[in-house]
Structure 1
């Protein structure tokens, strides 16, 4: 199989459902990096300064943008399940962002970290749900 054929197969896969598949793949990969950056802060006792927190914040901004793009692309389809999963994805992103703003805003409380974790896990499940939904149809 030639490289050109493999590239065309990948492009067909990524462009399925108005590019929702490709965007959700990118979101899941970014979530893995976001988790690594976020968990390196307490594990290595880095504090709320430096490269790890900067990577975590920029990763969170990237996830928020990708979530909005996934929702916008899903709204252009005629599939209600995809619309529901993408809306759920954005809601979990908002939960994580809201709790993260309090946690990094100076109120160091474990309940805010728990809220960020719940938002992260929900985003991970909703994002992979969007991805599997697109791949299965």
Structure 2
């Protein structure tokens, strides 16, 4: 229920800014991701988009239910979780995890708002179930 309310609020915010005549909402299949955390390597979760489309907004919802803006302004308050930026037009809704503790395992949801042309937007959401294992290999 909370996810539907957040989607609705995001749609209202976008519509009030005059962006869209048509907004399509897409729910992508859940992804199960297991990885070994290390301070030198990052694991990225992402909702891909075409390079011909424009990313307008990207949000991440943590397992606690708290949502943060990742793009255009990264408001994620954790140093080990960050927006994975790229050069436009190749930027996508992507969040990287580097050196995170195993206690950060859980279900994260990404929401991506993409503009296809002057009057068509897509709001995509995808849940990532992360299982994080801490590396036993130290830094050199």
TM-score greater than 0.5 by the shorter chain = no
Which structure is higher in strand share? 2
Between structures 1 and 2, the one with greater helix share: 1
Q: Which protein is bigger by CA-based radius of gyration?
A: 1
